[in-house]
Structure 1
């Protein structure tokens, strides 16, 4: 049971209702995470705006999802791991690749370097070593992609931590991210 009550879209009012209605219209459902965030509409609005802004960055949706999976795995966030596995399956990412991404790896060498870097950001609270930057650059990442990786990690830490605090009820097929943690 969630430690922070999700807002019921049927009884929501004001800005919370508008945002939740927009989510449902956009993705066809209202995930419990967003219902929890709607307790303070500014938080849900911020999350949605960050996602929209990052959607205009250089990373395509599968790359952003891969970073979300790696971050969820690094933070052992069952809700986010479950949600992003489901989203990745919808994008037709192969099952083994999804699990690799959750563990911070990939069959694509550049993506693997970005995901290892993302996990290092989480593990070091952003205090990555020079060798971490050198490794991701050696794999072909530009400084823009490095900064974009940081931003995607931070956006996902927001959801990971809200889920940890709230103990949000998972409304996707459940995945145990601890099984796929590396390091």
Structure 2
């Protein structure tokens, strides 16, 4: 197995260091994911830029967590499911919603379920989502802009999911309580 270095602020390529510092500012520590991505400062910068833009998107905060967890479950990313489950719970997403998402099951909240369903279809159908599914998302109270915001979130998570698959990123202690294993 190819080993990837988990960089920190002291041994990362110079161009990656500001991005590691920014991540540390958001989380309070340099995550293993950011440490691995630092091998390619451009990947780390791109991921952080997408994360920043998705954070500014029109989706409500809880819906963003739905996109992150759903994408990560469907892509089988153990690291990201644990990390985003932890963050979702910390940000007030109901535990029942988080558990349903981790089990790839519908959630009880109609608005969040519409986000989960669209995210699922974007991932599994590689963007070829049927028109009636888009209409159902809109009928649940979402906007055309939010259709595109879901795509942004899926793109962001796909970068991290694939990185973790290839690098076998070790789980940070902060995410241990929400450890998840793909089926």
Structure 1 length-normalised TM: 0.89
Q: Tell me the CA shift for residue 104 of structure 1.
A: 5.3
Correspondence for 1:161: 162
Q: Highest relative contact order (Cα 8 Å, sep 6+), 1 or 2?
A: 1
CA separation of 1:79 and 1:176: change in aligned 2, threshold 3 A: same
How do 1:1-183 and structure 2 match up within 5 A?
Answer: 3-102=3-102, 103=104, 105-171=106-172, 172-173=175-176, 174-176=178-180, 178=182
Aligned residues: 179
RMSD: 1.9
Which consecutive unaligned segments of at least 5 residues does structure 1 have? none
TM-score (norm 2): 0.89
- Evaluate the alpha carbon distance shift between residue 177 and residue 128 of structure 1 in structure 2; reply closer, same or farther with a 3 A threshold: farther
Over 3 Å off, 4+ runs: none
1:60 and 1:8, CA in 2 relative to 1: closer, same or farther beyond 3 A?
same
Q: CA deviation at 1:138?
A: 2.4
- Contact 1:72/1:78, CA 8 A, preserved across alignment: yes
How far did residue 3 of structure 1 move? 3.4
Task: Tell me if structure 2 keeps the 8 A contact 1:71–1:119.
Answer: yes
| Mapped contact 1:6–1:35 kept (Cα < 8 A) | yes
Task: Determine the C-alpha separation between the residues in 1 that align with 2:106 and 2:5.
Answer: 35
Is the 1:54–1:152 Cα contact (8 Å) retained in structure 2?
yes
2:12 and 2:39 in contact (8 A); partners too:
no
Q: 1:3 to 1:61 in 2, by over 3 A?
A: farther
